[in-house]
Structure 1
Amino acid sequence: MMNKPHSALAGRRILLPAFILFFVLAGVFAVSMKFGTPTMTMHGLFDVLLTGGGEELGRMIVREIRLPRFLLGLLVGAMLAASGTLMQGAMNNRLAGPELLGISAGASLTMASITVFHMPIAFQFHPLFGLAGGLAGGAVVVLSSRGSKGATGMLLMGMSVTAILNGLLIVLIALGTSNDVNLLYTYLLGSLANRSWEHVDRMLPWFLVMLPVAMFFTRAINLLQLGDDTASGLGLKVDRTRIVILIVCAGLVAISVAQCGPIGYISLLAPHLTRLFLRSSDARLVLPLSALCGAVMLTAADQIARLLLSPLEIPVGVWTTLVGGSLFLIFLQRHRGGSIHG
């Protein structure tokens, strides 16, 4: 257990990177509110945000289009990053992520099935069906890997199951009409475009519940990072705890996938960057700062998607894959002599 002086020192360690990330997030917020068609003046923007005044067109665009889109990106980015932190700790493997354990693929396959088969499911229930699909994908991985040894075997099984689910997803797309394919194209690339306050209202309760639940498991994550044998020797029920954490991860990811489609590399990279900032693997520090880092990453990537090639908009999931994949290759290059565990 941490003594009080060490705990206070660890708490102070998080302050500077948290301040920097909040500062960057504020800058991204300003860009997201000001720029686009039309571009707002600073006076007009302050008038709209602070007093509810300004021209009707600017007020509608800022308050009904740009603001909910930014807030949704913040919530989704934070939840994806938290899921990555939990999963990497639970598997004791820095390459672990929801994309590799069937969770994202299972949720995506479920949402695509609803679209292609035109299931009469109310929109407000889509997150629950996405959660069910994510849990099913994760459950297949867990059950299939019961005979394997440790987290590495589960990761290998997860990659196989994910490949199968993605293959089924392609079959579904082939079965869909041209209109279905157009809808699935944007969704499966991951996008925050055309999102409204309704999407934010559906995400916020999950965010307020799931993030505290994730924080509850930070002590278990710290023990799992010591290795299964050590964690078991310290009284942790390793297999049961890992499965429960994977269920929490499924909840964090599947709800995000249901609202915005699969957005890659946020869950994988945000924990890496956070540990680099903190120079610590203590999950009690890494998880909350990783959530903030994920929020910054996704909202910033969304501004690139929205503004760089305007008026053409490429879905944000493409940019997170291009930029995140490049950063991850750099990370692997720098750490190829080291270990990806712990």
Structure 2
Amino acid sequence: MALLCLGAAALAGAVCALSLGTPYVPPARLPATLGSDGLAGLVVTELRLPRMVLALIAGACLGAAGLVLQEALRNPLAVPEMLGVSSGAALGVAAPLVLSLAVPLGLQPFLALAGAALGGLLTLVAAGFGRSPSAVLLTGAAVAAALQAALLVLMVMADQLDLQLIYRYLLGSLSARTWDDVTGLLPWLAVAVPALVLCVPALGVLRLGDDDARALGVRVERARVAALGIAVVLIAPVVAVCGPVAWVGFLAPHLARRLRPDGGAAGWLVRSAVCGAIVVLCADQPARLALAPVETPVGAWTALVGVPVGVLLLKRGRRPARDRGPVSLPAPVMAPDVPAPVLRKAER
């Protein structure tokens, strides 16, 4: 049932992404419009379709990265925004823009990767290379705050035009994205997907705790560092192309666990990627259409939806025992009705 709901939501989001807007294309005419020579065919094929594909890829990467971080650190609040990864990637892309450095478009993912790796490395070094999950999370929040302060300094130095670009970029936007942006993410996916497959068994063991993981032969610190590295490879290219789309890495893993509470790390990883893709795709529709012809950043809508839904999911996951209904206790075992002399004889 959950898979059917996810499939229906993805299909509805895809149809809305390709049909709605100016010009409006009826859903029944979409197959004939794709690849045609008219204005509608050009808009759907060259503008709406790559934007839809990019939304799906970006959401899947952020959802998978959020689950990897939460499972590796055993903390439901471990998200890219609180570990310095997203802030570092945004700083790596925004700094050349403010400093007027001519950087080719193909190098922007590498700058984002360097910034994300810097933020993650600072977090790990300050937290003792992942020896304590709580220390990693708290240190990451401090590193993220420091990197965001550096971004504010850059924004003070920027002129008016650069400032508008940085504002829109920092909120996350899919506006004016083309097939070149989509194809630029494919090499990173070719690296990240096999790494995710290899990381799944370690994530399942890390959920048991550090002592149990060591007893099963897992090097906990190395596994945690590797998980953070995989999350960096997933997040950095997306931030380079779309900006830091907030709260997707927090919301998607919680939705995945809600859909299948008894699932393992592999099942949650797939569901988290699917949920992240659907969240970004659905959030992009009001970003395009709510204030048309002006577009709003998709990251603003993911934050508006993600914060209340995430809080609601956390509350439902931590309901007290009295809210879950009466607990049935086993009936006491009564002694059989045996006469007292017989019992005394048995005792003798």
User: Normalized against structure 2, the TM-score is what?
Assistant: 0.89
Shift of residue 142 of structure 1? 0.3
On the 8 A contact 2:55/2:281 being kept in 1, the answer is yes
Aligned counterparts of 2:199 and 2:236: Cα–Cα separation in 1: 19
Matched with 2:139 is 157
Percent identity reads 38
* Alignment pair present for 1:141 and 2:126: no
Matched with 2:253 is 271
From 90, 110, 126, the counterpart of 2:72: 90
Matched with 2:296 is 314
Aligned counterparts of 1:283 and 1:72: Cα–Cα separation in 2: 25
Q: For residue 74 of structure 1, give the secondary structure of its aligned residue in structure 2.
A: helix
Aligned counterparts of 1:59 and 1:148: Cα–Cα separation in 2: 51
Matched with 1:32 is 17
Which deviates further from its counterpart, 222-231 or 147-156? Answer: 147-156
* Alignment pair present for 1:203 and 2:188: no
From 63, 77, 87, the counterpart of 2:59: 77
Aligned counterparts of 1:292 and 1:335: Cα–Cα separation in 2: 21
Change (3 A) 1:148 1:295: closer
Q: For residue 236 of structure 1, give the secondary structure of its aligned residue in structure 2.
A: coil
Matched with 1:297 is 279
Matched with 1:13 is none
Aligned counterparts of 1:284 and 1:216: Cα–Cα separation in 2: 11
Matched with 2:161 is 179
Greater length-normalized contact order (CA 8 Å, ≥ 6 residues apart): 1
Which deviates further from its counterpart, 139-148 or 78-87? Answer: 139-148
Shift of residue 179 of structure 1? 1.0
Matched with 1:118 is 100
Aligned counterparts of 1:23 and 1:43: Cα–Cα separation in 2: 17
Aligned counterparts of 1:333 and 1:211: Cα–Cα separation in 2: 32
On the 8 A contact 1:75/1:204 being kept in 2, the answer is no
User: What are structure 1's unaligned runs of at least 5 residues?
Assistant: 1-15
Which letter does structure 2 place at the counterpart of 1:75? I
Shift of residue 180 of structure 1? 0.7
On the 8 A contact 1:218/1:283 being kept in 2, the answer is yes
Change (3 A) 1:281 1:102: farther
Aligned counterparts of 1:75 and 1:304: Cα–Cα separation in 2: 19
User: Normalized against structure 1, the TM-score is what?
Assistant: 0.90
Aligned counterparts of 2:299 and 2:256: Cα–Cα separation in 1: 21
Aligned counterparts of 1:335 and 1:296: Cα–Cα separation in 2: 22
* Alignment pair present for 1:22 and 2:2: no
Aligned counterparts of 1:204 and 1:188: Cα–Cα separation in 2: 23
The C-alpha deviation readout for 1:277-304, integer Å capped at 9, x for no partner, is 0122411111012111111110010012
From 188, 205, 214, the counterpart of 1:232: 214
On the 8 A contact 2:130/2:221 being kept in 1, the answer is no
On the 8 A contact 1:215/1:287 being kept in 2, the answer is no
RMSD over equivalenced CA pairs, Å: 1.5
Aligned counterparts of 1:289 and 1:28: Cα–Cα separation in 2: 17
Aligned counterparts of 1:90 and 1:191: Cα–Cα separation in 2: 29
Matched with 1:251 is 233
Aligned counterparts of 2:6 and 2:112: Cα–Cα separation in 1: 30
From 20, 33, 48, the counterpart of 2:33: 48
Change (3 A) 1:220 1:147: closer
The C-alpha deviation readout for 1:236-286, integer Å capped at 9, x for no partner, is 000011001101101101111000000111111101101110122411111
Aligned counterparts of 1:151 and 1:321: Cα–Cα separation in 2: 25
On the 8 A contact 1:274/1:290 being kept in 2, the answer is yes
Which letter does structure 1 place at the counterpart of 2:168? T
Which letter does structure 1 place at the counterpart of 2:226? V
Which letter does structure 2 place at the counterpart of 1:27? A
Aligned counterparts of 2:129 and 2:180: Cα–Cα separation in 1: 44
Q: For residue 312 of structure 1, give the secondary structure of its aligned residue in structure 2.
A: coil
Aligned counterparts of 2:131 and 2:229: Cα–Cα separation in 1: 20
Q: For residue 217 of structure 1, give the secondary structure of its aligned residue in structure 2.
A: helix
On the 8 A contact 2:84/2:143 being kept in 1, the answer is yes
Which letter does structure 1 place at the counterpart of 2:184? R
Which letter does structure 2 place at the counterpart of 1:150? S
User: What are structure 2's unaligned runs of at least 5 residues?
Assistant: 321-348
Q: For residue 295 of structure 2, give the secondary structure of its aligned residue in structure 1.
A: coil
On the 8 A contact 1:82/1:288 being kept in 2, the answer is yes
Change (3 A) 1:148 1:68: closer
Aligned counterparts of 1:218 and 1:149: Cα–Cα separation in 2: 20
Change (3 A) 1:205 1:149: closer
Aligned counterparts of 1:147 and 1:236: Cα–Cα separation in 2: 15
On the 8 A contact 2:129/2:221 being kept in 1, the answer is no
Instruction: Provide the aligned length of Structure 1 versus Structure 2.
Output: 320
